[in-house]
Amino acid sequence: MPELGFSTYVFVERIAANAAALHPFPEHNIALVRDALADAGFEISLLGPDAPATGEGVYFQSEPFGDEVMGLLADSLTLRGIGAYAYALVDSSMGGELADIALFTRVGDVFPRCGRHILMTRMYIHRTPTGAGNKAVTWAFGSPADLEEANALLSQRFDTEPVTDPRGMAAIEIRHPEFAAGTAEPMVLLDEIFQVLGAAGFEGITMCNDPGQPSAS
């Protein structure tokens, strides 16, 4: 029986009002991503020290564009044999005691429902000069089937909050109260996520947004 899924996956996210980043896995297939989008009428630039052999893509327009454009990029790739998922930022408020660092939702219509244990995992860190109010949250993105399995594993160790829509699980939010309490550093927590997922055969893209320790003023 043939294995479900694609040989290349791409995760699309906004990086500016008029730009989106395309993160391929594996990275050395970025040229395939560029060519597939060119066939669909989209032009991307390839970035990275080893581009075009490996790297990432950036889609740019002269004017701001809506989240539906990222969905079109992802759908165009999936329809051309490259599994793609696009995510839009719903909320990025850092203020208030109950505010989350970010909230994401999936955009696009023809994303793969089943994957090959390929996820994009990104940790967001917010530090304060005194450490009081530090926050860290990790998001996992991928196919609904892969996310269901990943959440079952991660929820045994972490505080997880799945994001679902009528088409299945869209993402997993993993909260890290240990960092807020000062009992664990973010990289230790991220490594624990790797161990849990890696032991079950998951792989993919990992990123960390850490602005560093702000100076007291």
**183 vs 75: CA distance, rounded Å:** 42
6-47 per-position pLDDT tens digit: 899 999 999 999 999 999 999 999 999 999 999 999 999 999
Using the predicted structure, report yes or no on whether residue 97 has a pLDDT greater than 60.
no
DSSP string, 36-88: HHHHTT--EEEESTTTTTS-EEEEE-SS---HHHHHHHHHHHHTTT-EEEEEE
Domain covering 113-217: architecture: 2-Layer Sandwich (3.30)
Asked if 124 contacts 137 with a C-beta cutoff of 8 angstroms, the reply is yes
Q: What is the pLDDT of residue 129?
A: 83
> pTM value?
0.89
Does residue 106 carry a pLDDT above 60?
A: yes
- Residue 1's pLDDT is 46
Q: Compare 132 and 194 and report the one with higher pLDDT.
A: 194
Averaged pLDDT for residues 194-209: 95
Asked if residue 91 has pLDDT above 70, the reply is: no
CA gap 82, 10 in Å, rounded: 7
pLDDT of residue 216: 56
Residue reference for tokens 């917010």 = 126
Q: For 140-192, write each residue's pLDDT tens digit.
A: 999 999 999 999 999 999 999 999 888 899 999 999 999 888 888 889 999 99
Instruction: Give the span between the Cα atoms of 161 and 204, in whole angstroms.
Output: 20
Distance CA 9, CA 204 (A): 9
pLDDT tens string 49-78? 998 889 999 999 999 999 999 999 999 999
Domain ranges of the chain: 8-110, 113-217
Interhelix angle 186-199/144-154, rounded to 10 degrees, is 120
Among 162, 167, 157, smallest CA distance to 141 is for 162
CA nearest to 135, candidates 77, 92, 173, 186: 186
